[in-house]
Amino acid sequence: MTISTTAAIDETEAAPAIQTMPLSKALNAGLRRALAESDRVLLMGEDIGPLGGVFRITEGLQAEFGPNRVIDTPLAESGIVGTAIGLAMAGFRPVCEIQFDGFVFPAFDQITTQLAKITNRHEGALSMPVVIRIPYGGHIGAIEHHQESPEAYFTHTPGLRVVAPSTPNDAYWMIQEAIASDDPVIFLEPKSKYWQKGEVDLTAPALPLHASRIVRRGTDVTLVGHGAMVTTLLQAAVLAESEGVSVEVVDVRSLSPIDYGPILDSVRRTGRMVYAQEAPGFTSVGSEVAATVMEKAFYALEAPVLRVSGFDTPFPPAKLEGVFLPDPDRILEAVDRALAY
Amino acid sequence: MIQPADPSVVRVLAADGTIAPTPAAERYLSAIDALTDQQLEDFYRDMVVIRGFDRQATNLQRQGQLALWPPSFGQEAAQVGSARAARPQDHIFPSYREHVVARIRGVDPIGIIGLMRGMTHGGWNPNDPANGNTHIYTLVLGSQTLHATGLGMGLVFDGRCGTGDPDRDEAVIVYYGDGASSQGDVHEAMVFAASFRTPEVFFLQNNQWAISVPVATQSPAPLVKRGEGYGMPSIQIDGNDVLASYAVTRAALDEARAGEGPRAIEAVTYRMGAHTTSDDPTKYRTSAEEESWALRDPILRMRAFLEGKGASAAFFDDVDAEARAVADDIRERTVALGSIPVGTMFDHVYSEPHPLIAEQKAWLAEYEASFGEGA
Q: In the 3-class helix/strand/coil scheme, how is chain B assigned residue by residue?
A: CCCCCCCCCECCECCCCCECCCHHHHHHHHHHHCCCHHHHHHHHHHHHHHHHHHHHHHHHHHCCCCCCCCCCCCCHHHHHHHHHHCCCCCEEECCCCCHHHHHHCCCCCHHHHHHHHCCCCCCCCCCCHHHCCECCCCCCCCHHHHHHHHHHHHHHHCCCCCCCCCCCCCCEEEEEECCHHHCHHHHHHHHHHHHHCCCEEEEEEECCEECCEEHHHHCCCCCHHHHHHCCCCEEEEECCCHHHHHHHHHHHHHHHHHHHCCEEEEEECCCCCCCCCCCCHHHCCCHHHHHHHHCCCHHHHHHHHHHHCCCCHHHHHHHHHHHHHHHHHHHHHHHHCCCCCHHHHHCCCCCCCCHHHHHHHHHHHHHHHCCCCCC
Option in A110, A123, A183 nearest B350 (CB): A183
Distance CA B267, CA B290 (A): 18
Check residue A110 and report its DSSP letter. Answer: I
Check residue A191 and report its DSSP letter. Answer: G
- Are residues A113 and B192, on separate chains, in Cβ contact within 8 Å? no
Q: Is the whole-model pTM more than 0.90?
A: yes
Length of chain A: 341
Active-site amino acid positions of A: 146
Contact B91, B116 (CB under 8 A): no
Residues 6 or more apart whose CB falls under 8 angstroms from that of B181 comprise B142, B204, B218, B219, B223, B226
Distance CA A81, CA A116 (A): 11
B-chain residues near A83 (CB < 8 A): 146-147, 149-150, 153, 189, 192
Option in B191, B349, B351 nearest A79 (CB): B191
A-chain residues near B155 (CB < 8 A): 90
Distance CA A35, CA A52 (A): 15
Query: Would an 8 Å CB–CB cutoff place A181 in contact with chain B?
Result: yes
- Are residues A83 and B122, on separate chains, in Cβ contact within 8 Å? no
Distance CA B98, CA B114 (A): 15
- Are residues A110 and B153, on separate chains, in Cβ contact within 8 Å? no
B-chain residues near A289 (CB < 8 A): none
Identify the segments of chain A with pLDDT beneath 50. 6-9, 12
- Are residues B352 and A78, on separate chains, in Cβ contact within 8 Å? no
Contact B7, B232 (CB under 8 A): no
Query: Would an 8 Å CB–CB cutoff place A161 in contact with chain B?
Result: yes
- Are residues A83 and B157, on separate chains, in Cβ contact within 8 Å? no
- Are residues A85 and B356, on separate chains, in Cβ contact within 8 Å? no
Query: Would an 8 Å CB–CB cutoff place A125 in contact with chain B?
Result: yes
Collapsed DSSP state (helix, strand, coil) of residue A67: coil
B287-295 contact pairs (CB < 8 A, 24+)? B293/B74, B295/B15
Q: Which of residues 241-260 of A touch B (CB under 8 A)?
A: 257-259
Check residue A51 and report its DSSP letter. Answer: T
Option in A83, A121, A159 nearest B192 (CB): A83
Query: Would an 8 Å CB–CB cutoff place A304 in contact with chain B?
Result: no
Q: Which residue of B has its CA nearest to A127?
A: B351
Option in B138, B154, B189 nearest A87 (CB): B154
Domains of chain A, earliest start first: 7-201 (3.40.50.970), 213-339 (3.40.50.920)
- Are residues A121 and B148, on separate chains, in Cβ contact within 8 Å? no
Collapsed DSSP state (helix, strand, coil) of residue A118: helix
Option in A42, A73, A120 nearest B349 (CB): A120
- Are residues B188 and A123, on separate chains, in Cβ contact within 8 Å? no
Identify the segments of chain B with pLDDT beneath 50. 1-3, 375
Distance CA A81, CA B308 (A): 51
Chain B interface disruption, residue of A109, A115, A121, A260, most B CBs within 10 A = A121
Length of chain B: 375
Average pLDDT, chain A: 96
Option in A76, A110, A258 nearest B143 (CB): A110
This complex has an ipTM of: 0.96
Q: How close does chain B come to A267, measured CA to CA in Å? A: 20
- Are residues B184 and A128, on separate chains, in Cβ contact within 8 Å? no
Residue range B116-171, pLDDT digits in tens: 999 999 999 999 999 999 999 999 999 999 999 999 999 999 999 999 999 999 99
Phi-psi region of B138 (alpha: psi -120 to 50; beta: other; left: phi over 0): beta
Helix or strand holding residue A330 (H, E): helix A328-339
B-chain residues near A119 (CB < 8 A): 348-351
- Are residues A114 and B140, on separate chains, in Cβ contact within 8 Å? yes
**Nearest residue to A160 via CA among A220, A113, A226:** A113
Query: Would an 8 Å CB–CB cutoff place A121 in contact with chain B?
Result: yes
- Are residues B191 and A76, on separate chains, in Cβ contact within 8 Å? yes
> For residue B235, what are the β-bridge partners?
B265
Provide the pLDDT for residue A12. 47
Is the alpha carbon torsion for A61, A67, A72, A77 positive or negative?
A: negative
Active-site amino acid positions of B: 271, 275, 284
